[in-house]
Amino acid sequence: MPSCSAKCGRNAILKRPKTSDVLCKECFFEAFENEVHFTITRAKLFTPNTTVAIAASGGKDSTVLAYVLKLLNEKYDYRLKLLLLSIDEGITGYRDDSLDTVKQNRDDYEMSLKILSYKDLYGWTMDEIVAEIGRKNNCTFCGVFRRQALDRGANLLKVDYLATGHNADDIAETVLMNILRGDLARLSRCTSIITDSGDGIPRVKPLKYCYEKEIVMYAYFRKLVYFSTECVFAPNAYRGHARVLLKDLEKIDPTVIMNIIHSGETMKVSETSKMPKLTNCTRCGYVSSQEICKACVLLEGLNKGLPRLGIGKSSKVKRLLKENEEKNKSSGICRGEEDKTCLCSGTDSMKPVKINELVLKELRI
C-alpha cells in the first residue's frame, strides 16, 4: 500500500482525482477542508455577522456542505449564523426519509432547520397538483417549482445568503448541457460561484471545485449520514447523457472536469451574437427570460383551473392565452429533465404532449 504523498508516514487511503496525490485519511480531510476555505476566502463569498441558509436535501452534497461550513465557521471564525433550509414538495411518502436525514443533520450540527412546503411557497402541494393535472405532466411543475423553491424560501426567511451543494461535476455537467442546448445566457452564468436570482440574496456554491468522488469519500470517511434517492437511476434526457459522458471522460482523465469548468469560466459570448435577455419576472421578481416566469404561468393556470397552461413553450402559451381558442398544431415536451433530481422522472413524462388538445380542452369552460 502506498504511503501518503504528504510524507506524514501513514498509509494512503485514496487517490485524489484532481491532483493524483495519494493521501491518508487525516491529510485528505485537511486538504479537502482547506480547499473549501480557500474557495470561500478567495471569492469573498461571505461577510461576517450574516445569516447563511444551507440548502439541505439530506443528500451527500448538502450534508457535506453543512458539516464543512460548520467546521470552517468555527475554525476560522467566519462569524456566520448557519441554518438549514429544506423544501417539502408534498408528495406523500417521498420526503419522509430525506427529511429525517435533514433532521439528523440539524441535531448533529446544532443548526436550526426550516422546512418550507410547496404549500407555503406556492399554495399547492405536488399531490394536489397531480390530482389536477394527472401523472403525465407533473414533471413540468415539479422541475419548475423545484428550481425556484429555494430562492423563494431564502427570500421568505430573509437570509443574507443561500449556499447550495453544487460540486465540480455538477457544474461541468451544466456547462456541457448549456453547450448542447446552445443556451448562451445560462452558459455564461452557470460557472459563477455567486449568482443573483433577482431578490438580492446571493446564491453561493462553496463546493464548486470539489470533485464528486471526494465529496462521497469525505462523507464515507467522516461517517456522515446522508440519504440517496432512487430517481437519479432513471435515465432522463440531456442530464442523464451529459452525466454519463462526463463520467466516462473522467475515468480516462479526471482533469477534464476542471478543464470544462475553466472553459466555461473563460468563454466569452461574442457581443454580436443574439442573446436571450434575462430579466426579472414582473409577478415574483425571479430571474427569467420572459416577462412572467414559468412558475408564475403554471401557478396562474392552477389557480384559474387551467392547469395545463404553461406546459410547452412559453411563446406558444402566450399565443394560446391571447388567441384563446385558435387551433394550432404545436406540441410541447415536458421539461422536467432540466432538474437533475426531478421527482417524477420517467419515460412516460418524456413523451411529447399535444398542447393544442390539452389546452383547448381546458379552455372550454
Partner 1 sequence: MKITIQFGGGVHLLFGNIKLHEIDLPDREKHWTIGDLLLWMTDNLLQERPELFLQDKSVRPGILVIVNDTDWELLGCADYVIQPKDTIGFISTLHGG
Place of cell 427569467: 288
Q: Which residues face 54 on adjacent strands? A: 84, 163
Which H helix or E strand runs over 195?
A: strand 194-196
165 is in an annotated binding site: yes
339 is in an annotated binding site: no
Instruction: Name the residue among 3, 5, 16 with its Cα closest to residue 214.
Output: 16
User: Is 280 strand, coil or helix?
Assistant: strand
With CB under 5 A as the contact rule, the residue among 27, 150, 193, 342 that binds Zn ion is 27
250 binds partner 1, rule: CB under 8 A? yes
Task: Supply 18's cell numbers.
Answer: 484532481
177 binds Zn ion, rule: CB under 5 A? no
Out of Zn ion, partner 1, none, which partner does residue 27 contact, by CB within 5 to 8 A per kind?
Zn ion
With CB under 5 A as the contact rule, the residue among 64, 201, 261, 284 that binds Zn ion is 284
Which residues fall within 8 angstroms of residue 156, CB to CB, at 6 or more apart? 116, 120, 121
With CB under 8 A as the contact rule, the residue among 205, 213, 294, 335 that binds partner 1 is 213
**CA angle (197, 184, 202) in 5-degree steps:** 20
Min separation Cβ 188 and partner 1, Å:
25
Distance CA 94, CA 84 (A): 19
CB 304 within 8 A of CB 317: no
Distance CA 292, CA 119 (A): 21
Min separation Cβ 317 and Zn ion, Å:
14
Min separation Cβ 103 and partner 1, Å:
15
Q: Which stretch binds partner 1 (CB under 8 A): 68-76, 226-234, 273-281, 296-304?
A: 226-234
215 is in an annotated binding site: no
Q: Which residues bind partner 1 (CB under 8 A)?
A: 1-2, 11-15, 22, 57-63, 165, 169, 212-213, 215-217, 220-221, 226-233, 243-244, 247-248, 250-251, 340-341
Q: Which residues bind Zn ion (CB under 5 A)?
A: 4, 6, 8, 10, 24, 27, 281, 283-284, 286, 293, 296
